[in-house]
Homo-oligomer: A and B are copies of this chain.
């Protein structure tokens, strides 16, 4: 039988009632003739609670123990979903990551999937089981410890299963009914997109549009997994949601498809660093080792053999970054006057495949921000996106101005 992967996020399994609603959707696909692999997140709020406990216990936690703790939420949902399906007379059982076993690297709390053996689950499908419920977000390291795939990792679990089982489609059920031109909570003019290219989705996801985890989109792109994002709270029929697909499947691309943002950014500046070859490596290697997700990097003009180095990272990694830099300074690897942390910034980006063939997008963006008197602190660009750091308090204003400026409420 063809295999379908269905992933339900935290809000879609937040209560026993919602698990039942999700299970009904699964039951319908089973009735349609699919063997279904269901990937579940933890019940809404559970993972945050666990993460909070870990942080309170140990601010610089052992990531192996972090993973052991925070992975437990998904196990609960997986078991409850299997039980719910059984109550509906759908043959189902749950798998925890180590039972599959979903093999990952040892990079705890942001492990990467290395292998998903299919024999165990396929054998159960052959024996008449119709639904394999798999706890998302988790796997097992070569050392036999539990790993997790980073926040939102259940999306990646889903796509990886879809690739491994050659699934007909990977449906991501979430609390929104698709991918929007921007967050509808910021502007009521935000509009749902029927289709979006993998590349655009990738930029949107990495820029903070939290619909899909970045790596899930990368994986879907690499393995050509048909990925659909849709609401678990609405019945939209077969064409519901947003299809994330190849660029060539989109007839007319928009110059700008969406405005993405990331609220909780920090801008860190190392003041007066020796401007010598290898200095960037000397700075960013310890940051990487400390697990700091550096995003933008800007090196200012050198003056007297010294320079300022600016980078951005999530605001909750500032302490970690500071410690990594202080350590590198102590070990004599780098030398700097001081480390300035601006924790009141946000990132706003415009994204669109059409940008490649259209000039003037950057200048239009900067003009729109200038018209609202919003100062730009840092700019970075890629082929299909332009991002700026601005003061956090202007975030909503900036998103609305850009959405208007690029006419996204009318986008095709």
Which A residues are closer than 8 A to B by beta carbons? 16, 19, 50, 53-54, 56-58, 61-62, 64-66, 68-69, 71-73, 75-76, 78-80, 82-84, 86-87, 93-94, 96, 98-99, 144-146
Q: How far is the CA of A79 from the CA of B65 in the complex (A)?
A: 5
Contacts of A54 in B (CB 8 A): 79-80, 83
Query: CB within 8 A of A57: which of B19, B62, B66, B75?
Result: B19
Q: Which 4 A-B pairs have the closest CB atoms?
A: A69-B79, A68-B79, A72-B72, A58-B83
Q: Give the distance in Å from the alpha carbon of A141 to the alpha carbon of B145 in the complex.
A: 19
A-B contact pairs, 19 of them (CB 8 A): A16-B53, A16-B56, A50-B76, A54-B79, A54-B83, A58-B83, A58-B84, A58-B86, A64-B93, A65-B79, A65-B82, A65-B86, A65-B93, A68-B79, A68-B96, A69-B76, A72-B72, A72-B73, A99-B145
A19: min CB distance to chain B, Å:
7
Q: Which residues of B contact A69 (CB under 8 A)?
A: 75-76, 79-80, 83
A53 to B80, CA, bound (A): 8
Contact of A94 among B58, B61, B65, B87 (CB under 8 A): B65
- Chain B residue with Cβ nearest A52: B16
* A76 with B83: CB separation less than 8 A: no
Are B96 and A80 neighbours in the complex by a CB distance under 8 Å? no
Taken together, the copies of this chain in the complex come to 2
Q: Which of B16, B83, B145 contacts A65 (CB 8 A)?
A: B83
Which residues of chain B have C-beta atoms less than 8 A from A98's C-beta? 98
Whether B94 pairs with A68 at a CB distance below 8 angstroms is yes
Residue of B nearest to A99 (CB): B144
Are the CB atoms of A146 and B96 closer together than 8 Å? yes
- Chain B nearest CB: distance from A117 CB in Å? 13
CA–CA, A203 to B163, complex, Å?
A: 57
State in angstroms the CA–CA spacing of A317 and B64 once bound together. 40
Docked pose: A94 CA to B62 CA in angstroms: 11
Assess whether A86 is in contact with B62, with CB atoms less than 8 Å apart.
yes
A84 touches B64 (CB 8 A): no
Find chain B residues with CB under 8 A from A58 CB.
83-84, 86-87
Q: Which residues of B contact A79 (CB under 8 A)?
A: 54, 65-66, 68-69
